[in-house]
Structure 1
Amino acid sequence: MSDNKTLLVFAHSDEAVAFTDVEHVISGVGKVNASVALAGELADGSVERVIVLGTAGVVGHAGEDRPSLDTIYQVTKLIQHDFPLPSADVDPTGEVLLPELQVTMATGDVFVSDDEQRIHISGLGASLVDMEGYAYASICQRFNVPLQIFKIPSDYADSSASIDDWDEIAKQKSFQLREFFDKNLR
């Protein structure tokens, strides 16, 4: 990273295996862990920018123009999919580096591996789903810190997705994220 005021964040250590030589924070999985960890990092006011790298599930339908499992996307709008009351959409305020690859991502505290869930989330207008993004964006918004979120899909968030397989897939995706990081974010 170009300066020490940029904070690099991953939700899970498997997503960061290719970044052992780069300073970063592992927030933990889920909205609560993401919120607490990131708020703790931003509390002293020294962080000027947050970059989140990680994996996400694809919620588009087969046959649609859905995200590829081998492409890194920039999340520019976040929604919650597991909250029963209306909640405001949150838009990260960091610079858009991938204008042709912008997506909306839904966040919820569940690993989506069910066709019914996937269809519901897709109907909300999301292309990707994760478990932390909305929390990161909300915290950065409250602290007025620019945020960029870059995600590479790990699965299709359907009955073929397995949390048991996710660890190994996330480790593989980490190396693709590292290549992107070195080329675009250093």
Structure 2
Amino acid sequence: MAAHNTLLVFAHSDEAAAFSDVPHLVTGVGKINAAVGLADVLAEGNIDRVVVLGTAGVVGDGDDRLDLNTIYQVTGLVQHDFELDSPTIEPDGDVILAAEHTTTMATGDQFVSDDVQRATISGLGAQLCDMEGYAYGAMCERFNVPLQVFKVPSDFADSSTTQEEWDQIVAHKSEQLRAFWNERFAA
């Protein structure tokens, strides 16, 4: 896809809005769409690295609350909607951001906008939540392809957060992600 057999991946087309001139994959929202969409491309065997860019909800509070205008590299992935123990996935792509800009993210098949659920997710050690990250991690592990995940928070995943609010914010977040891509990855 992009130079050096890097596959740039987004979950939602709105997150990719600022990347119309850059080859990329939009998998669709949720763990199943993410897993199937990414597996289809990885099965072809010509991808050396996957870079995921997107948005996520912030689940931490107080001093642990992440900033809405900072891009974070996800170095640990857990599931928050799966009752059985599942291993933490640690993406094995190079960590390129400073430690204060790395975090753990929880994945589940629902848009988090509930204070109780947010607190539960934070209790898993996560500071961010999304709907695809764990699936991307599982597929990259299965196909032995290095993965890097970068997320910019879009909301605080609390009872005041709505999907409509996310829709209004995501275009700006796509521009932030594009500036990050140009600085860190563009040839």
Q: TM-score range by the shorter chain?
A: over 0.9
Which amino acid in the other structure matches residue 66 of structure 1?
A: R
Distance 1:80 1:69, change over 3 A: same
> What whole-Å deviation, never above 9, does each CA across 1:104-151 have from its counterpart, x for those lacking one?
000000000000000000001000000000000000000000000000
> What whole-Å deviation, never above 9, does each CA across 1:48-67 have from its counterpart, x for those lacking one?
10000000000001x22311
Which amino acid in the other structure matches residue 123 of structure 1?
A: G
1:166-177 alignment to 2 at 5 Å? 166-177=166-177
3-state SS, counterpart of residue 76 of structure 1: strand
TM-score by length of 1: 0.97
1:123 and 2:123 aligned: yes
3-state SS, counterpart of residue 3 of structure 2: coil
Aligned 8 A contact 2:78 2:107 in 1: yes
- Across the two proteins, how many residue pairs are aligned to each other? 185
Aligned 8 A contact 2:15 2:174 in 1: yes
Q: Runs of 4+ in structure 1 displaced over 2 angstroms?
A: none
3-state SS, counterpart of residue 75 of structure 2: strand
Corresponding residue number in structure 1 for 2:29: 29
Corresponding residue number in structure 2 for 1:157: 157
1:28-67 alignment to 2 at 5 Å? 28-61=28-61, 63-67=62-66
3-state SS, counterpart of residue 79 of structure 1: strand
Which amino acid in the other structure matches residue 179 of structure 2?
A: E
1:74 and 2:61 aligned: no
Aligned 8 A contact 2:80 2:107 in 1: yes
Which amino acid in the other structure matches residue 79 of structure 2?
A: Q
1:85-104 alignment to 2 at 5 Å? 85-100=84-99, 101-104=101-104
Aligned 8 A contact 2:59 2:157 in 1: yes
1:125-144 alignment to 2 at 5 Å? 125-144=125-144
3-state SS, counterpart of residue 15 of structure 2: helix
3-state SS, counterpart of residue 148 of structure 2: strand
1:113 and 2:87 aligned: no
Give the alignment's Cα RMSD to 1 decimal. Answer: 1.1
Larger mean Cα displacement after TM superposition, 4-13 or 70-79: 4-13
- State the distance in 2 between where 1:91 and 1:114 align: 27
TM-score by length of 2: 0.96
Shift of 1:4: 4.5
Which amino acid in the other structure matches residue 141 of structure 2?
A: Q
